[in-house]
């Protein structure tokens, strides 16, 4: 394989793929970049969201606060089950057709970088969200959205959450849409739009457009998950 071919293949992915014909030592620059990215991933997992700053940045959207039963970060990482259970606290039984929840998940930087642009894009595609409270959920796993949605009697819940960081990106956000949320649902009951970030991932506007399509189609068929196929990029046939 020529050097030019290796460069072309390497340009197709940010993943670390050894494309040399023979084994050899890792270049110092590559080793230092790996160590930097590994540190960023660790920091993302152990970091915490600045909830007060996020609330200010979401204004004028109203916010509500919730938390899981994982009372600190160490417990959250050791006990995923507690991150799926809603802690004691009052949430209004307001029966919203669509309730948005922002959870910290496994990447605080993802929440701080992506949540506000994504919410603004969602409000443009889903005007019903313009004055509806957003729930900020600490210590959240994806399924905490089901418990929050059930507590609020929501028709649908959309969980925006920091994704598990990797060595190519540490601030990626995922979005999970669930119809008729309630504790104990399987992952097959929800749709996921992932890899939402500004450095080569899905843009906030593209993610919002796709999520708005899923919301509308999910309402039309009365289901999310495996019953709802994402055909948002497929052109519609007109008579």
In degrees and rounded to multiples of 5, residue 192 shows phi and psi of -120, 135
Is there a domain that residue 36 lies in?
no
Tokens 């969602």 correspond to what residue? 122
Mean residue pLDDT across the chain:
91
Whether 18 has a pLDDT exceeding 70, the answer reads no
CATH code, domain carrying 111? 3.40.50.11240
Q: Is the peptide bond before 7 cis (omega within 30 degrees of 0)?
A: no
Please check whether residue 16 lies inside any domain of the structure.
Answer: no
Measured between alpha carbons, how far is 22 from 4 in angstroms, rounded to an integer?
16
Q: Got the DSSP string for 25-72? A: PPPHHHHHHHHHHHHHHHHHHH----HHHHHHHHTTS-EEEEEBS--S
The rounded percent of the chain whose pLDDT value lies above 70 is 92
Residue 153 lies in a domain: yes
Q: Is 29 within a domain?
A: no
Sign of the Cα torsion 40, 44, 50, 55 reads positive
Domain extent, residue 129, equals 51-227
Question: Residue 230: is it exposed, middle or buried by C-beta count within 10 angstroms (0-12/13-18/19+)?
Answer: middle
Q: Output phi, psi for 137, to 5 deg.
A: -115, 120
Helix (H, G, I), strand (E, B) or coil at 219: helix
Residue 232 lies in a domain: no
For residue 191, is it within any domain? yes
pLDDT in tens, 59-105: 999 999 999 999 999 999 999 999 999 998 889 999 999 999 999 99
**pTM listed for this prediction:** 0.89
Cβ atoms of 174 and 194 within 8 Å: the answer is: yes
Assess if residue 135 is contained within a domain. yes
Q: Does residue 235 fall inside a structural domain?
A: no
Please give the tally of structural domains in the chain: 1
* Predicted confidence (pLDDT) at residue 129 exceeds the cutoff of 60: yes
The residues pairing with 177 across neighbouring beta strands, listed in sequence order, are 158, 191
């Amino acid at each position: 394989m020529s050097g030019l071919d290796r460069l072309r293949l390497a340009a197709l992915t940010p993943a670390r793929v050894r494309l040399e014909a023979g084994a050899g030592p890792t270049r110092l620059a590559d080793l230092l970049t790996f160590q930097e990215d590994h540190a960023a991933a660790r920091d993302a997992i152990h970091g915490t969201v600045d909830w007060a700053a996020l609330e200010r940045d979401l204004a004028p959207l109203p916010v509500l606060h919730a938390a899981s039963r994982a009372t600190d970060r160490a417990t959250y990482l050791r006990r995923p089950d507690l991150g799926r259970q809603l802690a004691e606290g009052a949430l209004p039984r307001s029966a919203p057709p669509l309730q948005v929840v922002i959870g910290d998940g496994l990447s605080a930087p993802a929440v701080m970088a992506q949540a506000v642009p994504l919410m603004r894009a969602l409000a443009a595609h889903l005007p019903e969200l313009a004055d509806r409270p957003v729930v900020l959920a600490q210590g959240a796993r994806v399924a905490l959205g089901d418990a929050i949605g059930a507590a609020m009697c929501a028709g649908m819940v959309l969980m925006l959450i920091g994704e598990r960081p990797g060595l190519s990106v540490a601030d990626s956000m995922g979005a999970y849409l669930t119809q008729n949320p309630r504790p104990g649902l399987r992952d097959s009951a929800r749709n996921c739009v992932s890899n939402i970030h500004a450095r080569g991932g899905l843009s906030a506007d593209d993610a919002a457009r796709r999520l708005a399509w899923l919301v509308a189609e999910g309402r039309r068929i009365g289901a999310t998950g495996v019953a709802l196929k994402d055909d948002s990029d497929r052109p519609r046939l007109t008579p």
